[in-house]
Amino acid sequence: MVYYKLKFFFAIITAYIFQSCNVTSVYSPKSENVIEKRQNYPIEIERFRYFDLFTMQGIEPCDNDSCIIVTEKGDSIKIETNYPKKYSLTLCNKGNYWYSHAEFDMNKDRYRLGKSESWPRRYDRFILTDTILDYEQVFYNDEIFKTLYIKTKETYKALDLTGGYKVDNDPQEILSKILKILHSSNQKTFRSVLNIKRKNSEMEYIGEKYGNVYSGSFPELQVWGGAYGLGL
């Protein structure tokens, strides 16, 4: 079993020099068989029923077409599955945390989108000890809306940040900004909060958004914490 337990030291993290590791994460409806591609990797591949991003740990060894495929190569790990839909995530080991970058719908013309359409967006993800931080930038007309998602196994929180017109591109600067926000003594008003309860392969949640309470469940999740933002 692959087990990657991380320690996060706040005192030194902002001084850490980022290594070179180009990584992306993609959701795709295509039915391409990921398992057939495993021969492209010259190293051993491990397969699990579930993968927990909060602990970077594979759970329940698996040996069928619905398995999570975990490939370690150099300073990166790739997580792939076809079930219940195609999912691929590559994470780069930065020493004290894992990092990934993803972009969605960036080819859309953000000046011609309706408010009900999916807007171009990008994410920078930092996985610390039992915590996932997703830094979201959404593009609409000339504006950039920014949100920080703070996720643990028990709670997902969305914090709206000051937007503007400048894109944040440097992961080290983004992480420094996040740490400054988290350490600030200023009162934080979260737009949304989800309380998560894991029950076997399902996740149940009770959420609050703008004062309104709602609840629901997500069945058969294979990559826990895999979706960006408030997605489970």
pLDDT tens, the chain, 232 aa long: 444 433 333 333 333 323 345 544 433 333 333 333 444 545 778 999 989 999 998 999 998 888 999 999 888 999 998 777 788 999 999 989 999 999 999 988 887 777 667 889 999 999 998 899 999 999 988 899 999 999 998 999 999 999 899 999 999 999 999 999 999 888 888 999 999 887 766 778 898 887 888 888 776 678 888 889 887 7
Q: Are residues 165 and 196 in the same domain?
A: yes
Domain residues for 73?
A: 27-92
- Shared-domain flag, residues 116 and 220: yes
On whether residue 194 sits in a domain, the answer given is yes
Write out the E strands in 23-171: 25-28, 45-52, 57-61, 68-73, 76-81, 86-93, 98-104, 121-128, 131-140, 143-151, 155-164
Do 121 and 200 lie in one domain? The reply is yes
pLDDT reported for residue 220? 65
> How many structural domains compose the chain?
2
* Residue where one domain finishes, among candidates 45, 63, 92: 92
- pLDDT computed for residue 133 by the predictor: 97
Same domain, 126 and 208: yes
Query: How many Å apart are CA 64 and CA 59, to the nearest integer?
Result: 14
Q: Is residue 10 part of a domain?
A: no
Backbone angles phi, psi at 175, to 5 degrees: -65, -40
- 117 and 196 in a common domain: yes
Written as one letter, the residue type at 102 is A
CA 141 remoteness from chain centre: 25
51 within some domain: yes
Residues 75 and 120 both lie in one domain: no
**Predicted pLDDT of residue 219:** 64
- Same domain for 53 and 108: no
Q: Supply the pTM of this predicted model.
A: 0.79
The DSSP symbol for 119 reads: P
User: Would residue 185 count as lying in a domain?
Assistant: yes
Q: Are 58 and 81 members of one domain?
A: yes
Q: Is residue 175 part of a domain?
A: yes
Residue 215 lies in a domain: yes
pLDDT of residue 1: 44
Residue that terminates a domain, selected from 92, 112, 135: 92
145 and 104 part of one domain: yes
36, 60, 92 — which closes off a domain? Answer: 92
